[in-house]
Amino acid sequence: MKSLVLFAGLAVAGAVHAAPSASPAASAAAMAQIRQGPVQGVLTAGVASFLGLPYAAPPVGERRWRAPAAAPSWTAVRDASRFGPDCVQEPMQSPPGPGFVNRTSEDCLTLNVWKPAAAPAATLPVMVWIHGGAFIMGAGSFPSFDGAALARQGVVLVTLNYRLGRFGVFAHPALAREQGGRPVADFGLLDQIAALQWVRDNIAAFGGDAANVTIVGESAGASSVNFLMGSPLARGLFAKAISESGGTSSQLKTVAALQAEGQAWARAAGVADDDAAALRALPTARVWDGPVTTVAAPVIDGNVVTASTDEAFHDGAVAAVPYLVGANSQEESLLRWLPGLADVFLDALGERGPAALAFYTADGVDRRTAVARLWGEGAMVEPARMRARQVAGRGGVAWLYRYAYVPDAAPAGTRGAGHEAEIEMVFKNPDPRWPRSWSARDAAMADTISAYWVNFARSGNPNGPGLPAWPQYWAAGDAAMEFSQAGAKAGAGFGKARLDLLDQVYAQQRHWAAP
């Protein structure tokens, strides 16, 4: 039987909903003293924002394809009113919102902080957002990730950039020799870890609690959350984790395979096999010689990533922290960027394919739609439940959700909640490209979901006053919080028969005991 070909970061859309940017001129200045020096942000409507703060040295010149180094320091007050450049990336088919333009550069390792303007009575929980985009696009500056609404709920929100594409995942024998033979390939994940170290060392300057950090991500960002859960280099840097539509990582390249690819690419660029300096001297445009059409997935390098996340979660080799995970009702919306992938997935199911597909044709839908639905649940919904089961099965704390809400403001004909549709609710940032403003019901759903996420960041439990009870996940109860037109309501056993069948396929291919 062929292996299932799935990966969390397949979302080349990269979470591109939009909301008002945090960078326009504000009414007053905000000040903070971090380890690098004093910074001046902006104060707007009760929220202080500090943008474009470098968390590592620029990864340019001699620093290209190296682990991030210490960030620069300064003595004069540094302006923190504007985002830094986005990392070099694949151009999106549509911009993330009207008027949003941000430059790109290899010098892009910056982060952004939003906090309540008023001094808190106690240190605040911290949420660190890791953007999606298939590891080939995205940025912490996207308007959809404006952290003002979350800050108003009493958290410190951090967004960050990390290296993408060939800048973020690359291996070559000449680079390995520099490391004494120890491979370093997952530079984007190393960036994320460096950002978390910066948060640990500096977040108190913004009123945040370094011991109460929640990492949150969607798509490739959620996959990153799962990789960080399993990475020994990230231990102790976060206390909770939220993975939104993170999928699985069953098929990871070895670093040896990536080195062979990198060597072949470098030769085509005219670089000798032993010339690391020539590699680093290549122009940026030559390194990013797109268009990039595949996910720039992390690899098992034995350093940052020691196993696929499937195996790490299965073996319990992950951080023992509360874990909130889920997916959306129409994850197959991704297929508009991935033509043919659903049929590849169906074929990979082998002899179990017809039985799996029968669940999706039972209501009379056409075969093409059914295959797409099968892919959406196989790629995102089943892996979310599997992750919750893996955590809970080893005595950990897990919470599972299914997001199916379609806003009244959505364009006519919107079918289900597509990949990344929940982000606007988490951040409480409506999409201004939509034809209508949020209805009262839309705003209420955003209030509910955002409150759950903030409660989880505070305590590891999403429940709180005025919210429908969200039961902790246990495989025996198979309970999840469902967000739909009916509101937020706990349910049990969603899609159990078909998801159980997919579970069995995964277990068989990984040689695990059948669930």
Q: For the residues of 166-234, what is the DSSP string, one character each?
A: HHHB---HHHHHHTTT----BHHHHHHHHHHHHHHHHGGGGTEEEEEEEEEEETHHHHHHHHHHH-GGG
The H-or-E segment that residue 427 falls in is helix 423-427
Please state the three-class secondary structure of 286-308 as a single string. HHCCCCCCCCCCCCECCCCCCCC
Average pLDDT over residues 184-207: 97
Domains in the chain: boundaries: 8-510
C-alpha distance from residue 335 to each of 48, 299, 447, 465 (Å): 39, 24, 30, 39
Phi and psi at residue 91, in whole multiples of 5°? -60, 135
247 with 253: CB under 8 angstroms?
A: no
Looking at the chain, the whole-number percentage of residues with pLDDT higher than 70 is: 91
Question: Which one of 244, 331, 332, 424 is the catalytic residue?
Answer: 331
Question: Any idea what the Cα angle at residue 469 is, between residues 468 and 471, rounded to 5°?
Answer: 145
CA quadruple 458, 200, 17, 386: dihedral, nearest 10 = -70
Distance separating alpha carbons of residues 36 and 191, to the nearest angstrom: 18
For residue 24, name the pLDDT band (cuts at 50, 70, 90).
Answer: very low
| 14 has a pLDDT exceeding 50 | no
Question: Any idea what the Cα angle at residue 448 is, between residues 447 and 450, rounded to 5°?
Answer: 65
Average pLDDT over residues 357-366: 90
* DSSP per-residue letters across 96-114: SSTT----EES---EEEEE
CA atoms lying within 13 Å on the CB side of residue 150: 35
CA atoms lying within 13 Å on the CB side of residue 174: 16
131-173 pLDDT tens trace? 999 999 999 999 999 999 999 999 999 999 999 999 999 999 9
Closest CA to 161 of 143, 145, 140, 142: 140
Distance separating alpha carbons of residues 330 and 333, to the nearest angstrom: 6
| 104 has a pLDDT exceeding 70 | yes
| 19 has a pLDDT exceeding 60 | no
Q: Is 162 left (phi over 0), alpha (psi -120 to 50) or beta?
A: beta
For residue 36, the Cα-to-chain-centroid distance in whole angstroms is 27
Residue 3: per-residue pLDDT = 44
Distance separating alpha carbons of residues 108 and 139, to the nearest angstrom: 9
Question: Which one of 219, 231, 250, 333 is the catalytic residue?
Answer: 219
Of 12-26, 183-197, 500-514, give the range with the top mean pLDDT.
183-197
- 323-328/208-218 β-pairing: unpaired
Catalytic status, residue 419: yes
479 with 400: CB under 8 angstroms?
A: yes
Residue 21: per-residue pLDDT = 39
Question: Which one of 131, 419, 420, 422 is the catalytic residue?
Answer: 419
Average pLDDT over residues 266-271: 95
136 with 237: CB under 8 angstroms?
A: no
| 322 has a pLDDT exceeding 50 | yes
The per-residue pLDDT of the chain, averaged, comes to 90
53 by DSSP, 3-state: which? Answer: strand
Residues in the chain: 515
| 127 has a pLDDT exceeding 70 | yes
* Strands (E) located in 69-141: 78-79, 86-87, 104-105, 110-116, 124-130
- DSSP at 379: I
Residue 17: per-residue pLDDT = 35
Distance separating alpha carbons of residues 433 and 219, to the nearest angstrom: 22
492 C-beta neighbours (distance < 10 Å), count: 12
CA atoms lying within 13 Å on the CB side of residue 2: 12
Distance separating alpha carbons of residues 62 and 200, to the nearest angstrom: 27
Phi and psi at residue 159, in whole multiples of 5°? -120, 155
Which residues, in sequence order, are bridge partners of residue 323?
241, 398
Residue 7: per-residue pLDDT = 47
Residue 29: per-residue pLDDT = 80
Average pLDDT over residues 443-471: 98
Catalytic status, residue 219: yes
Residue 419: per-residue pLDDT = 94
Residue 292: per-residue pLDDT = 63
Place of tokens 């670089």: 271
Distance separating alpha carbons of residues 368 and 410, to the nearest angstrom: 24
Ranking 11-15, 337-341, 468-472 by mean pLDDT, the lowest is: 11-15
Which class for 181: exposed (0-12), middle (13-18), buried (19 or more C-beta within 10 A)? exposed
**Helix and strand totals (H; E) in the chain:** 16, 15
Residue 250: per-residue pLDDT = 74
Looking at the chain, the whole-number percentage of residues with pLDDT higher than 90 is: 79
Residue 99: per-residue pLDDT = 52
CATH of domain 8-510: 3.40.50.1820
For residue 79, name the pLDDT band (cuts at 50, 70, 90).
Answer: very high
| 123 has a pLDDT exceeding 90 | yes
463 by DSSP, 3-state: which? Answer: coil
Place of tokens 């390995």: 176
